[in-house]
Structure 1
Amino acid sequence: MSEELVLTDVQRDALKEIGNICAGNAATVLSQLLNRKITIDVPRILIVPIEQVPNVVGGAETMVAGLVLRVFGDIPNTIVFIFSQRDAKVLSSFMTGKTMTESKVITDIERSALKEVGLILANAYLGALSSFVGLGMVPAAPELILDMAGAIVDYILIELSCQSEYALLIESEFTEPSASVKGHFFIIPDPSGLEAMLTAIDKR
């Protein structure tokens, strides 16, 4: 089990600033795309041991929707957006403009909308992070996984051969005039990536 990572006050403040900048970027992009005001608040940002990720989103057996993207560049990493399945349907309705149905089944149209918003959010968040730390990162196309939270983490660690011990969590709350959505945005850097990011923060 990974030990809790102790951050300096400077690193902690910088991560909060990064989270707010990322959310601001993403909200601007979504608002322009959808032609209506979208706000994204960041209640908390922290670094958690990778094995605690399922607990953060409600438990290992909680059914969730996960958008998984590999990221290449100066800090290779994996991005994971995790939403409850209901909130995933609400978020997809933001994109499609259609009223959300009560069915628990996520349709092909909703899947496409979620993948689109996943790539938009990844580019917005990574763009802000790249500018802040001065390191380039580019996301690949997202994969949508509907499964238990624990299974998604296992997929990242096993199928993607991820060796990370820690994940950077940017908790995000999306709001538009008629609805709100809570999501968990995790950046899971390759082993040397987290050190590189924190070193870049220290040099600012």
Structure 2
Amino acid sequence: MTPETRKVDEKLLAKMRLVAARGFSNSAQGLSQMIGRELSVFSPDVDMVPLAVIPDMLGGPDNDAVGVYLRFDGELVGQIMMVISYQQALEFCDMVLDEPSGTTKEFGRMERSALSEIGNLTGSFFLNAIYEITGLSSYPSPPAVMVDMVGSILDVVIATMGAISDQILMFKAAFQIAERQIQADFWIIPDPSTLEKLTVAEMVKK
């Protein structure tokens, strides 16, 4: 990576940290209203990650996981994926449905619906935060829930785009209710022109 490229990446990441702070804060409020209990969302880490290394970062391409997928269009074009390990996703369902740990054994209609709404709300608040910070607007598709291996989930992302960046924005997040907490990854996979727009966009003064 050249010094200039590193400078561009750092400029983009600075904006994305603001997006994460605002997006996760607003999504926590929305999710708390949805489930009727206080839910907190923390985002300790944001990074630009090569697409090729994603499976290994999640334990390998054969690891089971749950993904909630949204596509976004408008001034910005790309995809958002919330990815949670299989066991953490089971625990997440127990948390939001107010069940004891270990209650959820599989992803039925109710569990998939809960995960779908969480991914949809969080993704939508992310896009709202991007608009508030950069002035660039976009709108999400309906969410789709996938229960599969990490490699297969990533294949879906790649197959649904004609042009895709070789880097993605990865947001680490923790969802917490009382003493219970789960870890999730949020991928923002922009097309190349969107990545350029996000990089050069001036921050909106409010």
- Assess same fold via TM > 0.5: yes
Instruction: Name 1:172's counterpart in structure 2.
Output: 173
Residue 193 of structure 1 and its aligned partner are, at CA, apart by 0.6
Instruction: Name 2:74's counterpart in structure 1.
Output: 73
Residue 194 of structure 1 and its aligned partner are, at CA, apart by 0.5
Instruction: Name 1:144's counterpart in structure 2.
Output: 145
Deviations 1:60-119 (A, max 9, x none): 221110111111111111100000112212222333333343564222211111111111
3-state SS in 2 of match to 1:87: helix
3-state SS in 2 of match to 1:88: helix
Instruction: Name 2:91's counterpart in structure 1.
Output: 90
Moved segments of 4+, more than 4 Å: 201-204
Deviations 1:145-172 (A, max 9, x none): 1111111111111244452222111110
Instruction: Name 1:112's counterpart in structure 2.
Output: 113
- Contact kept, 8 Å, 1:86 with 1:104, in 2: the verdict is no
- Judged with a 3 Å threshold, the aligned counterparts in structure 2 of structure 1 residues 10 and 183 are, in CA distance, closer, same or farther, namely same
Q: How many residues align?
A: 202
- Contact kept, 8 Å, 1:156 with 1:162, in 2: the verdict is no
CA RMSD in angstroms comes to 2.2
3-state SS in 2 of match to 1:42: strand
- Judged with a 3 Å threshold, the aligned counterparts in structure 2 of structure 1 residues 80 and 201 are, in CA distance, closer, same or farther, namely farther
- Contact kept, 8 Å, 1:10 with 1:202, in 2: the verdict is no
Residue 12 of structure 1 and its aligned partner are, at CA, apart by 3.1
CA–CA distance in 2 between the matches of 1:64 and 1:201? Answer: 36
CA–CA distance in 2 between the matches of 1:103 and 1:127? Answer: 32
3-state SS in 1 of match to 2:201: helix
Residue 53 of structure 1 and its aligned partner are, at CA, apart by 1.8
CA–CA distance in 2 between the matches of 1:162 and 1:146? Answer: 25
CA–CA distance in 2 between the matches of 1:58 and 1:38? Answer: 27
CA–CA distance in 1 between the matches of 2:179 and 2:160? Answer: 38
Q: Identity over the aligned pairs, expressed in percent?
A: 25
Q: TM-score, normalised by structure 1?
A: 0.89
- Judged with a 3 Å threshold, the aligned counterparts in structure 2 of structure 1 residues 55 and 157 are, in CA distance, closer, same or farther, namely same
Instruction: Name 1:30's counterpart in structure 2.
Output: 31
Q: Partner amino acid for 2:122?
A: L
CA–CA distance in 1 between the matches of 2:39 and 2:134? Answer: 26
CA–CA distance in 1 between the matches of 2:66 and 2:126? Answer: 19
- Contact kept, 8 Å, 1:11 with 1:202, in 2: the verdict is no
CA–CA distance in 2 between the matches of 1:118 and 1:64? Answer: 14
Instruction: Name 1:6's counterpart in structure 2.
Output: 6
- Judged with a 3 Å threshold, the aligned counterparts in structure 2 of structure 1 residues 134 and 203 are, in CA distance, closer, same or farther, namely closer
CA–CA distance in 2 between the matches of 1:37 and 1:57? Answer: 28
Instruction: Name 2:193's counterpart in structure 1.
Output: 192
CA–CA distance in 2 between the matches of 1:112 and 1:79? Answer: 17
